[in-house]
Each structure stands twice: as structure tokens, then as C-alpha cells.
Amino acid sequence: MNIEELITQFLDPNHYIEFYKVPHNFKDYTIANDAYTIIFIPRDEKYKESKEKTRFENTINEILNDIEISKFKPLPKINIPEQIICTYCDGSGKSKFQKCHECNGEGIVDANTDYNTYYDLNCKTCNGKGEIILRVTEEKCKTCNGIGKIEPGDFPIRIENMYVKFKFIKKIMNIDNIEISTNMKKNILFFKAKDIKGAMMGILKT
Ligand SMILES: [Zn+2]
Ligand SMILES: [Zn+2]
């Protein structure tokens, strides 16, 4: 995996905040982050300084400082959670969303009885979602990308005394000589390898 592919995993292209969509330069680093994970690589001048820098500056400095003072050890072997059947296509790999005909995609309906009109009831046909899933179709299921199975990204992976979502750990588990440090108090996992470092949030205990 090249460095660009690596840092792209730490972005959220659909986020409304620009800072989470594209890599930014900050001090000696190029940063890629979403609201849950962040990676620092050596500064690459092809990226811009962030306009929203001041808003995130304190957090970023704190993370860098924490990484500096933490003790690291190799990332333990991760047992990759088993794939689960895609509930959207029922494993067939084919599905398509269609606007609910009952509520016209609104998710809510009005109901009349002899005495009363009830407004804004949850549509029973689509369960209030406004759309229904068609399984008799040739369209590739967008949820599983036609594979019929989904990797359980939200599966909690235990690392020392912390739990981290598999989809976060997956971003770093193939980096050579990756080391980690867990900070229980802040519920953050720090990582580093050669000239890369970063952090990811643990799963909040409920
Ligand atoms: Zn599917
Ligand atoms: Zn409906």
C-alpha cells in the first residue's frame, strides 16, 4: 500500500467539514483525519495548510504530545472478524432501493377512521424508512458491493484493555512494524511506525 492509499483511509469524503475530506498540512506533518481517526505523515508540500487549522490545533497538539510521551509495543495479532451475510440482499449480492409507494418516500402516512384522522404515523410498508429493498433485480447490492457478505467493521476488537472498531484497526494492521499504545483514560489508541503516527478512538463504554 502506498502512502496516499494509506492516508485516504483516514478521510471521510462525505463529511460536511472540509478538514475531514482532504489531507492538510500542519507544522511538519501532512494530516488526514475523520472524526474518529487521524494519521500524521511527513509534510508533503502538494497539500495545503488547513484553513480550519485553529479550530483543531489544540486537539492535534495534544495528540502529538501524547504520542511523544507514550510507551509503544507491537500491535498484537488481530483476529479478523468473520464476514456476515449482507442483510440488504440476503447474500445474493443483488438488491435495489425503491421509493416506498405507500408513503411516497416520506416514511410517514396519515390514517383516517370514521371518527378521526391520524397524522404522521410511521409507514408500515417501509417501517418509516421511506424506501423498500427489492431483491429481484439485476442491480449489484450497494451495501456489500455485490459480494453478498459484509465485513463487520463495527465489530469490537479488544486490544489490551480497550475496544476499537475493526474498521479502524484495519487501517493500520498492515503497516510494517506498527506499534501501538493504549490510553484508557482518554479512550484513545495511539500508533506509530517509522515516520508515520496517529490515533484512533476506542469504543465508548455504555
Ligand atoms: Zn448485499
Ligand atoms: Zn413507506
How far is ligand 1, taken at its centre, from the CA of residue 9, in Å?
22
How far is ligand 1, taken at its centre, from the CA of residue 90, in Å?
6
What ranges do the domains of the chain cover? 3-79+154-201, 86-150
pTM of full prediction above 0.85: no
Residue 74 backbone dihedrals phi, psi, to 5 degrees: -60, 145
- Spans of the chain below 50 pLDDT: none
How far is ligand 1, taken at its centre, from the CA of residue 65, in Å?
43
From the centroid of its chain, how far is CA 28? Answer: 26
Tell me what pLDDT residue 68 has.
96
Residue 4 DSSP SS3? helix
How far is ligand 1, taken at its centre, from the CA of residue 77, in Å?
29
Ligand nearest to the CA of 101: 2
Place of cell 490510553: 183
CA 106/CA 43 separation, integer angstroms: 47
Tell me what pLDDT residue 205 has.
66
Domain 86-150: CATH class, spelled out: mainly beta
Ligand nearest to the CA of 105: 2
Tell me what pLDDT residue 113 has.
81
